[in-house]
Amino acid sequence: MSNTQTSYTPREPILVTGSAGFIGSTFLPLLLSKFSASEIHSVDALTYAGSRENLLDLPESSNHSFHRLNITDFDSLQKKFQNFEFKTVIHFAAETHVDRSLNSPDLFFRTNLIGTTNLLKLAKEFAVERFIHISTDEVYGPTPDGIEFDESAPLNPSSPYAASKAAADLATLSYSKSYDLPVIIIRSTNNYGPRQYPEKLIPLLISRASQGKALPLYGDGKYERDWIHVEDFSRAVIAILECGKAGEIYNVAGENRILNIEIAERIRELVGVAESKIEFVANRPGHDRRYRIRTDKVKTLGFSPQIDFDEELAKVVKWYLKTPQRLAKISTGAAVEK
């Protein structure tokens, strides 16, 4: 970890990848309002998980350009770097659904590892001054009871999704160690909030409950995850962008550890449909029992989550119920956390 920079004013142009997805589309308006004078570009392939609709609420005065682009297409990505010479990169783009990764691991390794490597290569060539890679607590694998993993814990991913993210983390760290590229890795717990593709746990359960259907949970439903509101997480990314140290990894959590079965019960109550029943379905292979991470390090940068889970979950449920067209894109599988 040879880089020692401790405070960073994001140099422009700034590139955000995956801006049309769930987290990217919450983070981008925050970035645009905070750095309104900066030139900001975002790219997204607009896969099934990304939507232009997610980008309709950007601040009007912002200096933002959107480019439809697949990060696995090195030549197209290189042209953007040649045209704009990005100085800061914040990388969210990824295939993110664990169940899909079990059926199409190759797609996950292509997007999450090769796509990230393409960005790293270009970041090195164009002397990017800060490269933020967004990763997940899933790279640590299941946490034994009574333990919390800090950033130095070994990587032990279970699913192809988690393995592809862990591989991308290692590729990112190698660019720090070998080429002194100023990278930072952020490993987050589960995000919740509006605009998440409805195959994920919370919107899927809301959809099923609102139709009076059974709420499908894998195994015994006693799978523990920590949940952070997507706006809190977006604030964490800004704090780390500005105050994080190059070459470092930061865990971020919402400090809301909840079992899937408890989430299902809360959603059933919030939707107000008594007849929805929890239905336990055959477990997903490699389903990790719990993830628990320590967040002391990000707290030293002044970040701690502000949003109360119970209060906000009620608002999130209302948001999805008011936008039924979102919930219509529903998958029929069991509800998964990511």
Subset of residues 201 to 220 that bind ligand NAD, contact rule: CB under 6 A: none
Residue 289 neighbours by CB under 8 Å, 6+ apart = 142, 222, 223, 224
Stretch that binds ligand NAD, among 31-39, 88-96, 172-180, 296-304 (CB under 6 A): 88-96
Residue 137 a catalytic site member: yes
3-class secondary structure, 204: helix
CB of 190 to ligand NAD, least distance (A): 4
Residue 86 in contact with ligand NAD, rule: CB under 6 A: no
Gap between the Cα atoms of 191 and 65, Å rounded: 26
Between residues 20 and 270, which has the closer beta carbon with respect to ligand NAD? Answer: 20
Q: How far is the CB of 41 from ligand NAD (least distance, A)?
A: 13
Cβ burial, residue 219 (10 Å; 0-12/13-18/19+): middle
138 in active site: yes
Q: Name the CA radius of gyration of the chain, rounded.
A: 19
- The residues that bridge with 68 in the sheet, in sequence order, are 44
- Rounded-to-integer distance, Cα 52 and Cα 315, Å: 23
Beta strands at 130-136 and 278-281: parallel, antiparallel or unpaired? unpaired
326 touches ligand NAD (CB under 6 A)? no
Nearer to ligand NAD, 93 or 181 (CB): 93
Which of 18, 29, 141, 244 lies at the binding interface for ligand NAD (CB under 6 A)?
Answer: 18
CB-CB contact of 149 with 226 (8 Å):
no
Q: Does 314 bind ligand NAD (CB under 6 A)?
A: no
Output 113 or 276, the one with its CB closest to ligand NAD.
Answer: 113
The reply on whether position 42 binds ligand NAD by CB under 6 A is no
- Give yes or no for residue 62 binding ligand NAD (CB under 6 A): no
Looking at the DSSP assignment, which residues form a beta bridge with residue 89? 15, 131
Alpha helices in 109-197 (DSSP H): 116-125, 160-179
Span 136-195, contacts to ligand NAD by CB under 6 A: 136, 165, 188, 190-191
Name the DSSP letter for residue 331.
Answer: -
Which residues 112-131 are close enough to bind ligand NAD by CB under 6 A? 115
Q: How far is the CB of 92 from ligand NAD (least distance, A)?
A: 4
**Count of CB atoms within 10 A of residue 109's CB?**
19
Least gap, CB of 257 to ligand NAD (angstroms)? 14
Residue number with the smallest Cβ distance to ligand NAD: 21
Structure-block tokens of residue 11: 């140099």
| Residue among 12, 95, 99, 138 flagged as catalytic | 138
List the catalytic residue out of 44, 95, 137, 312: 137
How, if at all, do strands 64-68 and 40-44 pair?
parallel
| Cis, peptide link before residue 194, omega less than 30° from 0 | no
Q: Which residues bind ligand NAD (CB under 6 A)?
A: 18, 20-24, 44-47, 49-50, 70-72, 92-96, 111, 115, 134, 136, 165, 188, 190-191, 197, 338
Provide the annotated active-site residues.
137-138, 161
